[in-house]
Structure 1
Amino acid sequence: MLIISTINKTLKSYVFAIGLAEYLLRYLPIGTHDFNKFLKPSTINNILLSHNMTLKEIQGLSYNPILQQWRLTNDISVNYIMYITAI
């Protein structure tokens, strides 16, 4: 079993993870995220398949800055978590 949590490579993730979290809200130091290192789920899935692994489940993760809480969602456009097993 393998669990991966990362940031999707979308315009929305750039706006939220870099624009909002780093520059506007200053939750993180500027430069924390590098958009070039963000990964689409399809990219990870291709790597998994080449290593005889399979994606079992994917869920989005959403952060509420007012409540300071994370929650699982169906929206994987920014943050997501993957559950992976060997084939």
Structure 2
Amino acid sequence: MVWEFLAWGALGQLIRSAIGIRKAALRGDKLNFPHWFSSVILGAVIGAISGALFQPYVPINTWVVSFLAGYAGTDYIEGLTEKKVI
């Protein structure tokens, strides 16, 4: 079950990053592959943790929680690190 949550979290982050990559390409920016790869891994981990935590409370659609956590959670954590809160 944790592998499913990892996959849904990674998928959420992949969709979010695809949008960012497209915007960067339109601006002419280069892809920072290590940053992109680490954000996908972070999205997968956030999705797995949130899915495991919320499974007792949302037993039917826990994948949605993992997907949304991977999509939005990575952005939140990256924002905190850019502001040097973490």
TM-score, normalisation: structure 2: 0.31
TM-score, normalisation: structure 1: 0.31
Q: Which has the higher helix share?
A: 2
